[in-house]
Amino acid sequence: MSKPNKESLGFTKQAPQSAKLFVVPTPIGNLEDMTMRAIRILKEVDLILAEDTRTSGFLLKHFGIDTPMQSHHKFNEHKSVENVVQRIKSGQNVALISDAGTPAISDPGFLVVRQCVENEIDIECLPGATAFVPALVTSGLPNDRFCFEGFLPQKKGRQTKINALIAETRTMIFYESPFRLVKTLTQLSEVLGVERKASVSREISKLFEETKRGTLLELAQYFETYQPKGEIVIIVAGLEE
């Protein structure tokens, strides 16, 4: 008598899992913020798409990850997304990382994610570091409703964008360079009011992390005297209803 197989006993044969795109956040400063799951995924995938392979190389070496990397940044992502999609369709698991934080949040990533969605490729985004969340929470401003504005345009459309926020009642979040911080705070105070409450967080999770709170005018005056360094998040209170 032949030995029964799984199918004859009512078990169905599982189809092999399809390859997918993993969106993996990396620390924004403190390497201890790297999750165990993120390390495991980066070790298991076939390819890592990195915003800057030199910057990511230090991170991967620190955690003993030797997965091959491929450059994927804002200057080449339009050309590389189709190749990435084809690699995943062929069975390769691919991870997307940026220099710091969660990919696609003011970093490259949106285009490849959208292309994967359009090609019905599974996408798994791991939770992890994002600069604006700790900045929002520590600001002391309302965080039940907020809008993320990212970087303001540097030149064309900048003033129009700020003017469009005059009636915004939600707490507003901006990313900014230390070289444009005073200019941005000054322009926001001119449009939204010098007494509008705000906070500025810089070097989040790093050794010299700092959060300053006050009005837009007070913050502009402070950082005009004390020139800031590092990555910066501005939190601005919405218009009181």
Q: What does the pLDDT average to over 79-105?
A: 94
Going along the chain from its start, the domains and CATH numbers come out as 20-125 (3.40.1010.10), 132-236 (3.30.950.10)
Q: What does the pLDDT average to over 72-79?
A: 84
> Is the pLDDT score of 28 beyond 70?
yes
E strands present in 24-129: 47-50, 69-71, 94-97, 122-125
Strand 69-71 and strand 47-50: pairing? parallel
Chain centroid to CA 190? 29
> Is the pLDDT score of 14 beyond 50?
no
Question: Residue 111: what are its φ and ψ, rounded to 5°?
Answer: -65, -45
Q: How confident is the model at residue 80 (pLDDT cuts 50, 70, 90)?
A: confident
Q: How confident is the model at residue 59 (pLDDT cuts 50, 70, 90)?
A: very high
> Is the pLDDT score of 13 beyond 50?
no
Q: How confident is the model at residue 241 (pLDDT cuts 50, 70, 90)?
A: confident
Mean pLDDT of all residues belonging to the chain: 92
Contact 141, 39 (CB under 8 A): no
Contact 159, 197 (CB under 8 A): no
Beta strands across the sheet bearing 94-97: 69-71, 47-50, 94-97, 20-23, 122-125
pLDDT at position 25:
97
- Tens digits of residue pLDDT in 188-236: 999 999 999 999 999 999 999 999 999 999 999 999 999 999 999 999 9
- What is the pTM (predicted TM-score) of this model? 0.87
Q: What does the pLDDT average to over 48-64?
A: 95
Q: What angle do CA 25, 90, 46 make, to 5 degrees?
A: 40
